[in-house]
């Protein structure tokens, strides 16, 4: 009877967390192409993959992997736009799977339900604190180049850990070596923030191994050189020089710091105190204790906790600083989504490192945070309900967008716009403004404007073969 009660409580937790993420998957089917995607649709319709890749590399971006990888998806969407929401749904699913895959690889339990519970918890926290959904999940070209790359970064880190585990157990690492090299090539040819993270983490690993072993690690030396070459191929592309003319970077640290520090702290305080990360951290503690004591990879948590704290803060503040160095101001929300991803994954790793230290030095068990008590039965549910009741709570907003018909109405309005443009006979096609837009998948900055010379308006006009498009006053 007690076992059945425990199982039912576990099931209820899983169902509750599943219902928290469900609306975001449903909203994928109401997303439609926006902004620069029409520029890409025009290009993939005119060019083959090599012509498209070359034109992008010399004309706008050095992200060689993203350029070639996105071509096939954009080609399919340009042929049939029904693929657009399907691809977004798949990216959401892959993102969730990558979290579960990492939890599974830690191999701290045989219970699929426990793994699922931990995965759902981390995914809910990520969703809750995500700076922009429209620029994250529901703008496909952005989701492909940013959110999906986060998944590849997780895979890369796990393969690095698996390699270290096999070396410690005198096993062959050929498969891991090849996968690490491949993913290094992929990540360094993608978004600059992630490629910088790869370079930085490899430097930290190289230094740590050099200090520990008193000699140079050949594999990581060669991997770091390879990563740096790939990074240079991307960062010094002609296209990046063209793109940089649109921004004014700040190289002087005395100009960066007065803007960087308060802006970064604002985000960090928001993530800690305006999202449920701390309450979920308490629930994570017993999981962390099992991971650091029972996982095959528990050696990665036996690191100086203050060194890990320093690196984590360096990654977070370093990620924010890239915005001021490259564009002279605060990062776009789509980049802040990645910063939050690094912040979140780094935070739970940091917590695990501290738990590992205290597990080795004290006998304190953290089961109190999941066992039936006043804390778990009363205080925690009240705190979670308060977060869900908040007016700016994204889970509440996602359900409202679906149940109040805002998402459906948004999709209908964009579909109607396309019909209007295709049937337009005048020099300037006038389309209606979006009425009652959804809060989660709609971003005004990505929408058409009343100015027909706006680049977003011009890109759609070129794609549909009309002279001009504008939103009616």
What is the per-residue pLDDT for 3? 47
| pLDDT, mean of residues 394-406 | 91
Instruction: Give the highest mean pLDDT range of 233-247, 350-364, 389-403, 407-421.
Output: 407-421
pLDDT band for position 1 (cuts 50, 70, 90): very low
Domain coordinates of the chain in residue numbers? 17-400, 405-471
Nearest to 53 by CA among 75, 31, 84: 75
Residue 414 vs residue 320, higher pLDDT: 414
| pLDDT, mean of residues 65-73 | 88
**264 CB-near residues (< 8 Å, 6+ apart):** 316, 317, 320
Give 297-311 pLDDT, tens digit per residue. Answer: 888 888 888 888 998
Strand partners, 468: 428
Give 18-37 pLDDT, tens digit per residue. Answer: 888 999 999 999 999 888 88
> In the 8-state DSSP scheme, what is residue 379?
I
Give 252-279 pLDDT, tens digit per residue. Answer: 556 666 777 788 888 899 899 888 888 8
Phi, psi of 405 (to 5 degrees): 80, 10
What is the per-residue pLDDT for 303? 85
On the question of pLDDT at 155 being above 90, the answer is: yes
On the question of pLDDT at 81 being above 70, the answer is: yes
* Distance (Å, whole) CA 103 – CA 256: 37
On the question of pLDDT at 374 being above 50, the answer is: no
pTM equals 0.88
- The DSSP secondary structure of 443-464, one letter per residue, reads -GGGS--S-TTSHHHHHHHHHH
| pLDDT, mean of residues 72-86 | 90
Least confident of 63-72, 235-244, 269-278: 235-244
Residue 362 vs residue 165, higher pLDDT: 165
On the question of pLDDT at 183 being above 90, the answer is: yes
What is the per-residue pLDDT for 341? 92
| pLDDT, mean of residues 197-205 | 90
Q: Which residues of 333-363 are buried (b: 16+ CB within 10 A; e: fewer)?
A: bbbbbbbbbbbbbbbbbbbbbbbbbebeeee
On the question of pLDDT at 235 being above 50, the answer is: yes
Contact 349, 303 (CB under 8 A): no
Least confident of 4-13, 208-217, 361-370, 402-411: 361-370
- The DSSP secondary structure of 129-190, one letter per residue, reads H-S-STTTTSSHHHIIIIIHHHHHHHHHHHHHHHHHHHHHTT---HHHHHHHHHHHHHHTTS
**135 CB-near residues (< 8 Å, 6+ apart):** 142, 332, 333, 334, 337, 443, 446
* Distance (Å, whole) CA 227 – CA 233: 10
């Amino acid at each position: 009877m007690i076992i059945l009660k425990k199982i039912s409580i576990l099931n209820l937790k899983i169902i509750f967390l599943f219902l928290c993420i469900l609306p975001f998957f449903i909203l994928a089917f109401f997303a439609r192409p926006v902004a620069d995607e029409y520029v890409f649709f025009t290009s993939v319709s005119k060019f083959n993959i090599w012509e498209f890749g070359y034109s992008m590399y010399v004309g706008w971006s050095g992200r060689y992997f993203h350029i070639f990888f996105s071509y096939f998806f954009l080609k399919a969407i340009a042929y049939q736009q029904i693929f657009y929401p399907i691809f977004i749904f798949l990216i959401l699913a892959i993102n969730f799977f990558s979290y579960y895959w990492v939890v599974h690889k830690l191999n701290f339990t045989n219970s699929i339900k426990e793994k699922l519970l931990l995965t759902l918890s981390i995914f809910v926290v990520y969703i809750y604190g995500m700076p922009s959904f429209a620029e994250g999940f529901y703008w496909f070209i952005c989701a492909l180049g940013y959110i999906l790359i986060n998944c590849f970064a997780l895979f890369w880190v796990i393969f690095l850990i698996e390699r270290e585990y096999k070396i410690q157990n005198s096993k062959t690492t050929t498969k891991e070596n090849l996968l690490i090299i491949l993913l290094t090539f992929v990540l360094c040819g993608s978004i600059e923030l992630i490629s910088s993270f790869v370079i930085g983490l490899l430097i930290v690993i190289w230094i740590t191994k050099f200090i520990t072993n008193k000699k140079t690690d050949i594999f990581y030396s060669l991997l770091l050189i390879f990563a740096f070459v790939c990074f240079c191929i991307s960062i010094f592309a002609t296209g990046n020089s063209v793109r940089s003319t649109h921004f004014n970077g700040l190289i002087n640290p005395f100009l960066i710091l007065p803007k960087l520090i308060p802006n970064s702290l604002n985000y960090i305080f928001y993530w800690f105190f305006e999202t449920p990360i701390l309450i979920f951290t308490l629930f994570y503690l017993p999981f962390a204790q099992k991971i650091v004591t029972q996982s095959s990879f528990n050696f990665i948590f036996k690191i100086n906790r203050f060194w890990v704290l320093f690196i984590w803060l360096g990654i977070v503040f370093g990620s924010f600083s890239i915005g001021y160095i490259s564009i002279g101001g605060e990062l776009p929300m789509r980049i802040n989504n990645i910063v939050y991803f690094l912040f979140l994954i780094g935070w739970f790793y940091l917590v695990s490192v501290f738990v590992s230290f205290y597990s080795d030095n004290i006998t304190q068990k953290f089961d109190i945070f999941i066992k039936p008590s006043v804390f778990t039965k009363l205080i925690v549910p009240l705190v979670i309900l308060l977060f869900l009741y908040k007016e700016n709570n994204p889970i509440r907003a996602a359900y409202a967008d679906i149940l109040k018909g805002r998402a459906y109405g948004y999709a209908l309005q964009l579909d109607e716009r396309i019909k209007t443009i295709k049937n337009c006979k005048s020099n300037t096609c006038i389309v209606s403004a979006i009425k009652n837009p959804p809060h989660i998948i709609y971003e005004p900055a990505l929408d058409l404007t009343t100015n027909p010379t706006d680049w977003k308006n011009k890109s759609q006009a070129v794609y549909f073969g009309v002279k001009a498009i504008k939103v009616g006053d």
